[in-house]
Structure 1
């Protein structure tokens, strides 16, 4: 039996024509209609997401790190998810790392041809002294990005656990990952603009991955972010109310003083023997 021909669904023509002739209302309504199908596509991928999370959790519980690697929108989404783990869950910077083709300059400005270098992804990972203790998730909406594919291939050779997140079925990046995740959302409203539905799908899956991992790592209790960093007044207030609820402290200022003294809800509760 011949292999199924790979088709870039993400590059197929939009189901909508003559966008420039639509009213603003029609543009917004039609984008919303397209977006409405994204959660259902993510739901279909949950078994694959679960498999990756379970494997990644084993590595991280043993002291490993999680790396996201991508180009363009995919790379930026990985960096966004990684950057939010320390303040939200109180984990060290460097436990979850986002890498983008073209380096930090590419976060704000596109770097020409950066994603086409099949060797640079591995070189970027080497800068972090990556080892077989770690986990790498390659993110590529098309599933064809050389920067990502090359990195995952080399990771496999080095015995490093790999996953992929793409929006085309049977893509090249899926073929080189141990734990491929494919969220097939169909053609974009603007043909080929994968920052839209594909980007939304990737953001949802990354939310799921990092949240599930942080729960597995013990960074959440009940449904509370008990290890969050107290970096602004809103988070301090949230932490005070958590502590009041969990420790049965009636006075706000007493709870606040205890929280600020120890730096997190988790540490304050530990001192109280809770």
Structure 2
């Protein structure tokens, strides 16, 4: 993960906080060394640039207030998202449906993608568009429904797949939509910021890894100064709300 997203510190923290769940010297050393070696090897073949291209951002009091208000909303949404994913992991197809199920689901997604091509893939391109303020309110609403539905349908059909980027995509879409509404109150803040903070808060609350998620977003965008405070505020609110509503994370609910 560290090498795939070019996030050496975030990858190490994710392994410690989310996957291992315990902080010990052995775990920390193993995660840090493995993560940094993987990233160093990737740098020999890939450019050392942030995963997402984001324009120059600035911190504003309006953004901080929005982060405080949006955090619990994102946390509540993440609890529903986790339960939805948990449902999609039950009742997997058997017998001939193991083959027929994915064919049916992918055919449906192919038809939907004619109108909404953003439903295809793991969501990385959608995240980039959200971070670049390239998605209007109408499309944000559609994708906020279609993207999680597509993810759940694929899992329900028995198709394997990860949830890291799809979860981040859901957060970027919801954050962007909440930001669109907030712009009627305060239009000065860049729309990019809402999607980025939303993605971080959703990732933190769904994975129940607040520290690693904050570092992840900072490394993914290379915007430490403008994002760290609103990220911390939103992540705290989202994580507290999610833990109050559901004890499961996006990974533990898969079993």
- Does TM, scored on the shorter chain, surpass 0.5? no
Larger RCO of the pair (alpha carbons < 8 Å, separation 6+): 2
Q: Which has the larger radius of gyration?
A: 1
Higher strand share: 1
| TM-score relative to the length of structure 2 | 0.30
Q: Which structure shows the higher helix fraction?
A: 2
